Chains A and B, each alone.
Chain A
Amino acid sequence: MSADYLDGNALAGPLAEIFATDVSAAVGRCASCGLTGPVASLRVYSRAPGLVARCPGCEEVVLRLVRSPDAAWLDLRGAVCLRIPLGGP
């Protein structure tokens, strides 16, 4: 795996186009190794078509996001779940 990656922070803008809340601060669990951590701590490879986010523990793909001119394709196969903070009252 190349060392040429960014943090999941880089997903914040592109995901803000889809979700009404900031998903980069959500805590997810890797479907491959079970590591739990914020989306912001994933390793994001942006040189592919779209964005590929891998687990910092096992390097399996957690999330893929591809934007076409009129749609977004979001593949979350590598995440068991996401806990999305919604803020207090």
Chain B
Amino acid sequence: MPMTKWRVARLVKVRDENPTARTLVFDVPGWPGHVAGQHVDVRLTAEDGYTARRSYSLAAPEGVELTVQRVEDGEVSPYLTQDMEPGDELELRGPVGGWFVWRPDGTTPVLLVAGGAGIVPLMAMIRARRAAGSGAPFRLVYALRSPGQLYYADELLSPDPGVAVTLAYTRSAPEGHARPPGRLTAADLGPYGEADCYVCGPTGFVEAAATLLVELGHDPARIKTERFGPTGE
């Protein structure tokens, strides 16, 4: 089965998203393609043979593109966000995960809820919608600490037609932003409208957001979640 195989990935391009996160574009010979929302396992091997593995969501519907948040004192993310240069290689395995995915063949409204770096697989869904010319109504509610933490600013500050974007700053908002900084509330996610919901972020955020969605009237069976550990490392 091809998905189980470790493949060599060569870094071809990097793009800074903000001061602590960057997007890495890899060339992976034989990549079988993937569905928006899937992730890859990355393996780094040190000269002494020590290996470290991490999972990262794919950020785009085509090609192998990852966006990595630098975690201070992290074992892997400082290398990926600061030291790795085009031409360098790592190993990756995937795509994996067939549940937290969006396929561009439906017209059902979609509600995406991101906490911090949880935006990555949801951005892949927004990009897949664009690439497919899908008319499915999308709404993104993106909770982030401060303006300097924003990923994909160009695309999210002027979103595609049919994609509504709400930025919910939790600590500090840019000047003139209508919503005062504060944690995500039901008002940010409402009013209720039938939708397939995708929630991605740190465990505590996902727990809180999924609870708010159920309180608003969403069917728990239509809320898909993807959590990552408290630090992402």
Contact = CB atoms under 8 A, between A and B. Distances in A.
B66 to A, nearest CB: 14
Contacts of B1: 16, 20
Interface of B: 1, 3-4, 39-41, 55, 93-94, 96-100, 203-204, 207, 224-230
A39 to B, nearest CB: 8
Interface of A: 3-10, 12-13, 16-17, 20, 22, 24-25, 38-41, 46
B39 A12 contact: yes
B97 A4 contact: no
Given A9-B39, A25-B99, 18 more contacts: A3-B203, A6-B228, A6-B229, A7-B100, A7-B225, A10-B55, A13-B39, A13-B96, A16-B4, A20-B1, A22-B97, A22-B98, A24-B96, A24-B98, A25-B98, A40-B99, A40-B100, A41-B225
A40 B230 contact: no
17 contacts: A3-B204, A3-B207, A4-B229, A7-B225, A9-B97, A9-B226, A12-B97, A13-B39, A13-B93, A13-B97, A16-B1, A22-B98, A24-B97, A24-B99, A40-B97, A40-B99, A40-B100
